Chain A
Amino acid sequence: MTAPRTIHFTLNGAAVAATVMPHQSLVELLRERFDLFGARESCGQGLCGCCTVLVDGRAVSSCLYLAAFVDGAGVTTVEHLAADGDLDPVQEAFIETGAFQCGFCTPGFVLMTKQLLDEIPDPSDDDIRHYLSGNLCRCGAYPEIVAAVKLAARRQRGA
């Protein structure tokens, strides 16, 4: 039905329910219903990565994801990374290396890096470029971003 429906999912570690329309996207739901503004719609086509969130641990473009599809799933946004008051090692590495200027794209890069380091703890330059090729930084902080990923990887490995 075109009518609203209630979905239940885990958002940043907490069980939540929400009423959504079938044609509502996940990024709209997060911003309009939950006041989570870390994911932002920029290109609207899955190309830029600014709307990146994790669904069941995997990065997705929340502008291309129907909100109804997260029913039963676990959603993590950038806000969750520092929920305990301490920044995530990936966030710290981005700050230390100066891996941004305006910061608009940064939540997407940070979350994409989370999936990368979950899957490849010691990524090569090629791995980093491959995982982050779908995230665009118009300030052009790419060299610092690659350095930040390497720094975060080293710290997480305890090297």
Chain B
Amino acid sequence: MTPFELEEPVLLGAALALLDPEDSSVRAIAGGTALMLMMKSGLYRPRRLVSLRKLAPALDGVRSAPDGGIEIGAMVRLSDLRRSAVVRAAAPVIAETLLTHSNVRVRNVATIGGNLAQGDPHMDLPPVLIALGASVRLAGPGGERIVRVEDLLTGYLETVIANNELITAVIVPPQTGWRTAYAKVTARSADDWPALGLAVSVRVEAGIARDARIAIGAATETAMRLPGTEALLAGRAIDDALLQEAGRAAAAEAPVVADHHGSASYKRVLVAVHLGRALRQTIAGAER
């Protein structure tokens, strides 16, 4: 790794002031598992890193919101998120997803804020949080703004977070009536980076899909929703024919790209197959 400055502010305002709106080589570092990989490979050579370690007490914890949703501090580590009783009650899909997310050591260090700020399309949580309708709180010098996760991620390792903004929390709205499932498809071990991540959230009434949110990751440049497939499902009676139709529609709609986990044509087949399976899983949950 090349040398850099390391600052460890204890207050959010000081952290924001240490970031540089004009210099993208100045970044915040939380757990650092993803940034360390980029620095060791020489892909990222920071001038300065602003550690959020000493802000952790203010940005920690998972709280129930009055509306039935939850708010997750940006510095909550993934292993704590997986164990959180509040998360398991409000959005169990998050805890289930984390079971095969990287490994125990990485989850002991990596944070949810860092996971989203990295903008890596191969992360498991972004599509899950998009399907849950989640947002982030972004703190900047001018105050706070709230951005939906689906609007946060704009491209490969790219987000709308300004150079002098920080994620302080993740907001998951109440999930009453919704069921969510995540299909992680790996080409090697179960906890590998996914070849495809598909998160499906549906609101089912009497066998009819009233509403659906479908988010894809790993097979595309960035995690994103598939609005055409969502619209196809809305208001339709759910049967095998519809699930197959939706799978084909998603495979056609998603701008799938190849990587070393699989070719684009292979990943389109994965989308067609696993969308139906994920939908079946959510519907089975809804009718239980």
Q: Decide if B99 is an interface residue (CB 8 Å cutoff).
A: yes
Shortest distance between the CB of B1 and any CB in chain A (Å): 4
In contact, A133 and B191 (Cβ under 8 angstroms): yes
- Chain A 127-149 against B: per-residue CB contact (8 Å), 1 yes, 0 no? 00011011000000000000000
- Residue of A60, A68, A130 near B109 (CB, 8 A) is A60
Given contacts A66-B32, A68-B6, A69-B51, whether A134 and B106 have CB atoms under 8 Å apart is yes
Please, how many angstroms separate the alpha-carbon atoms of A64 and B105 in the complex? 10
Pair B109/A134 contact, Cβ less than 8 Å = no
Task: Report B1-43 CB contacts with A as 1/0, cut-off 8 Å.
Answer: 1111110100000000000000000000100110011011000
CB-CB < 8 A to B106: which residues of A? 46, 61, 64, 134
Q: How far is the CA of A115 from the CA of B102 in the complex (A)?
A: 17
Chain A residues with CB under 8 A of B40: 44
**Complex CA–CA separation, A7 to B36 (angstroms):** 20
**Mask: chain B, 100-120; 1 = CB below 8 Å from A; 0 = not:** 001111101100000000000
**Contact of A61 with B190 at beta-carbon distance under 8 Å, contacts A45-B37, A66-B6, A69-B51 already known:** no
Residues from chain A with a CB closer than 8 A to the CB of B29 are 66
Is residue B273 contacting chain A, with contact meaning CB distance below 8 A?
no
Chain B contacts for A5, CB-based, 8 A? 6
A39 to chain B, nearest CB (A): 12
B33 partner, pick from A44, A64, A112, beta carbons under 8 A: A64
Query: Interface digits, A48-88 against B, CB 8 Å rule (1 contact, 0 not)?
Result: 01001000001111011110110000000000000000000
Residues A23 and B3 in contact in the complex (CB < 8 Å), given A64-B32, A66-B32, A130-B99: yes
**Assembly CA distance A66 to B1 (angstroms):** 11
| B108 with A58: CB separation less than 8 A | yes
Q: What 1/0 mask marks residues of chain A from 108 to 128 whose CB sits below 8 Å from any chain B CB? A: 000010010000000000000
A23–B49 Cα distance when bound, in Å, is 10
B261 at the interface (CB under 8 A from A): no
Query: In the complex, which residues of chain A have a beta carbon less than 8 angstroms from the beta carbon of B105?
Result: 46, 49, 52, 59-61, 112, 134
Task: Kindly state whether residue A6 has any CB partner on chain B within 8 Å.
Answer: no
In contact, A22 and B4 (Cβ under 8 angstroms): yes
Q: How many residues of A contact B (CB 8 A)?
A: 29
Q: Does B282 contact A (CB under 8 A)?
A: no
Interface residues on B, range: 20 to 34
**Chief secondary structure at chain A's binding surface:** mixed
Given the complex, which residues of B lie within 8 Å of A59, measured CB to CB?
104-105, 108
Does B189 make an interface contact (CB < 8 A)?
Answer: yes
Q: Does the CB pair A1–B102 fall under 8 Å?
A: no
CA distance A49 to B37 in the complex (A): 15
In the complex, the chain B residue whose C-beta lies closest to that of A57 is: B108
The answer to whether B6 and A134 touch across the interface, beta carbons within 8 angstroms, is: no
Contact A133 B33 (CB under 8 A): no
A86 to B1, CA, bound (A): 38
Q: From A134, which residue of chain B is reached at the shortest CB distance?
A: B103
Decide yes or no: A23 and B33 within 8 Å by CB, A60-B108, A112-B105, A115-B104 being known contacts. Answer: no
Q: List 11 A-B contacts (CB under 8 A).
A: A22-B6, A46-B33, A46-B37, A49-B103, A58-B79, A61-B33, A61-B105, A64-B106, A112-B104, A130-B99, A133-B189
Q: A22-B6, A46-B105 are in contact. List 13 more A-B contacts (CB 8 A).
A: A22-B3, A23-B2, A49-B103, A60-B105, A65-B32, A65-B36, A66-B6, A68-B6, A131-B104, A133-B103, A134-B103, A134-B105, A134-B106
B residues with CB within 8 A of A: 1-6, 8, 29, 32-33, 36-37, 39-40, 49, 51, 53, 79, 99, 102-106, 108-109, 189-191
